[in-house]
Amino acid sequence: MATTSLGGGAGGDDRVLATAQQIVKSLRAAKEDREDMLLIFSTFDNRLSGISDLINGDDSKSSEEEELDRFEAAEKVILADASLSDEPSRQSTSLFKPPNNPAEYFSAVDEIIHWMEQFSIAPPSSAVGRTGPVIADRAENAIQLAMSRLEDELRHVLICNTIPLDAVSRYGSIRRVSLSFSSHDGAIDDTLESFGEVGSSRFHERGASLGDDLFVDLVRPEAVQDLREIIDRMVRSGYERECLQVYSSVRRDALDECLVTLGVERLSIEEVQRVEWRSLDEKMKNWVQAVKVLVGVLLSGEKRLCDGLFGDLDDLKEICFNETAKGCVMQLLNFGEAISICKRSPEKLFRILDMYEALRDAMPDLQAMVSDEFVIGEAYGVLSGLGEAAKGTFAEFENCIRNETSKKPVITGDVHPLPRYVMNYLKLLVDYGDPMDSLLEISEEDLYRFKNDLGGDVSQLEAMSPLGQRILLLISELEYNLEEKSRLYEDSAMQQVFLMNNLYYLVRKVKDSDLGKVLGDNWIRKRRGQIRQYATGYLRASWSRALSCLKDEGIGGSSNNASKVTLKERFKSFNACFEEIYRVQTAWKVPDDQLREELRISISEKVIPAYRSFVGRFGSQLAGRHSVKYIKYTAEDLETYLLDLFEGSPAVLHYIRRKST
């Protein structure tokens, strides 16, 4: 078929070419599509065969066309990635792994962002002509696809590059073992037999402070730049909200996993209050370590990570960090609140103080990092609650001691379980002098009782720290209680031994611990004087009758018959007294080796010289085959038998009985 002529002459040809050129340009089609159109036009009229050169020449001169080409190329990269990402085989492929080219993709996103920024400055119609609205829609679609891809990529990179908290290197290595008290279920029973000497198996671990130089990476360093690239594009595209949601969600989950590694469970207040003590003690210990690690290591690491990724975007990184930290902080605070309102019993005090100290020490750093006023307000509220719980728990301990009125005496006169329990408790409490001094105060009622009921020196009390005052009051209450318990013994000698044993125990515990610094040397000197008084009281009560048998009064002349009768009676009485003392007091117990030896020496110094002198003066008057019936023991025998006293073992009585038969 012949081609159609669109006009005649040179002017007509020019008009035809101009019209065709305008039609092609107005379509704003891709370059390949325009070439196809020109080929079609040239089949209609041979005058259009030169239009290709005109169009191509015009392309090389139009910056608008160059921008459009770049837009189309960027759009093509994003659309191609989106179409491939829809395939099942590509859904899990990271942008940063082959065959993907992250640099090309980010460059494409940058180009689309550039166009979007242009549209925000000038209306689409003025920016790219009459096709502007179409380009704007295409750019919006491309940016939505790109942001969906980058949102997934942000989540993927964060999850895959999170460094898990290693329970051994991050937690185990920063613990130290120290003494802290752990008892049974709290109430002091009638016999107090369950509160003996606290062995090492009943000490629990108390956390150490973390060093200022402790530093950890929470995300692999090689992934940080990739994350910056993603975050930068999302923020510039106006997708800050989506970026924040993804980032804080992933990092929040990572911190939750860290708490699990540290042994912290998510429990409601009601669940915490139902946990039995042994398990609760472990949870409280884990909480203390978790607070130190969370604030000192994890949150400081999160803060550095946020600062590094969000750079100068101060508002965004602040919100992002707060949202990330809030969940794990509130989880710890909820547990702390539950502990602060739990039933108070003495065995919980040291764990509560551990918790109080950990949170108190963490507060400056926590407040410096977290700007959420609600979270900080809750933290101060829990800190106050733990302080009140510590005060109330200590008051409960004081009441237990004050009201302990068991009527069952220790049959051997040994140290009562009550001072064992109290002194081991107080030895540990001294380690918490700093928090206790800030929490405790002494009342007028306490001062009155100390002065009038306990006979204490108020001036000494007023010169002490708050914890020292309460310790002095408590030990004074304990001494008063022991005095009352000594009255349970009918034997006055055993009363003295009981008081001597228990007071000596108190002095030794004070002297061998930091309690000595609290109570002072004067307290120790006074109690040692009391111990000597108790020893003197024991000698008087136990040995006065036996020693009276060794006096000269009433015996008469050395050759008087009546004096021999009296001598026989004196020796028989002494033997009976000694054997009774031996029978009874070998069953008594003085547990301290040094005190037991000192007491035996005191007895020996009183008895042996008097006996040796009496036998030396009057023994010859009973000479004869029956003298052994009266002078049954030598002074050396008595010294040997005195070594058996206060061993708490009455089985040795058989030896004396065989001797006396």
Block means of pLDDT (10 residues each) for the chain, 661 residues, are 44 59 54 62 60 51 73 88 65 76 90 82 51 78 92 94 67 35 39 42 46 70 93 93 95 94 92 93 95 94 93 91 96 96 93 96 96 96 97 93 89 95 95 91 74 68 85 92 94 97 97 93 94 97 94 68 80 94 95 96 96 88 77 93 89 45 39
φ/ψ (deg, to 5) at 162: -70, 130
Q: What is the 3-state secondary structure (H, E, C) of 356-389?
A: HHHHHHHHHHHHHHCCCHHHHHHHHHHHHHHHHH
What pLDDT is attached to residue 99? 83
What pLDDT is attached to residue 40? 67
Buried b (16+ CB within 10 A) or exposed e, 313-340: beebbbbbbbbbbbbbbebbbbbbbbbb
Residue 357 pairs in a beta bridge with none
Name the residue type at position 474. Answer: L
DSSP label at residue 210:
P
Instruction: Tabulate helix, strand, coil % of the chain (nearest 5).
Output: 75, 0, 25
State the alpha helices, DSSP H only, in 487-633.
Answer: 492-511, 515-548, 561-585, 593-618
Is the CB of residue 111 less than 8 Å from the CB of residue 74? Answer: yes
What pLDDT is attached to residue 434? 92
Q: Please name which of 530, 545, 549, 542 lies closest in space to residue 492, comparing C-alpha atoms.
A: 542
C-alpha torsion angle, residues 343, 349, 354, 358 (rounded to 10) = 50
Distance CA 202, CA 277 (A): 13
What pLDDT is attached to residue 7? 44
Residues constituting the chain: 661
Instruction: Return the ∠ at Cα 325 (arms to 324 and 326), rounded to 5°.
Output: 100
What pLDDT is attached to residue 203? 39
Distance CA 315, CA 312 (A): 9
DSSP label at residue 60:
T
| Distance, CA of 398 to chain centre | 25
| DSSP 3-state of 315 | helix
Residue 611 CB: number of other CB atoms within 10 A? Answer: 24
φ/ψ (deg, to 5) at 206: -115, 130
CA distance from start to end of the chain:
157
Distance CA 554, CA 528 (A): 39
How crowded is the C-beta side of 28, counted as CA atoms within 13 Å? Answer: 16
Is the CB of residue 379 less than 8 Å from the CB of residue 366? Answer: yes
Q: Domains in the chain and their CATH numbers? A: 65-124+131-161 (no CATH), 212-399 (1.20.1280.170), 404-540 (no CATH), 550-643 (1.20.1280.170)
Residues 6+ apart with CB under 8 A from 168: none
**Burial environment of residue 501 by CB neighbours within 10 A (0 to 12, 13 to 18, 19 or more):** buried
CA distances 161 to 251, 299, 518, Å, are 11, 17, 53
DSSP label at residue 184:
S
State the alpha helices, DSSP H only, in 262-403.
Answer: 269-274, 277-293, 300-310, 314-340, 349-369, 373-402
Name the residue type at position 389. Answer: A
Distance CA 204, CA 282 (A): 9
What pLDDT is attached to residue 176? 33
**Burial environment of residue 278 by CB neighbours within 10 A (0 to 12, 13 to 18, 19 or more):** exposed
Token reading at 389: 């719980």
CA distances 178 to 59, 206, 314, 434, Å, are 81, 5, 43, 17
Look at phi and psi of residue 540 and say left if phi exceeds 0, alpha if psi is from -120 to 50, else beta.
alpha
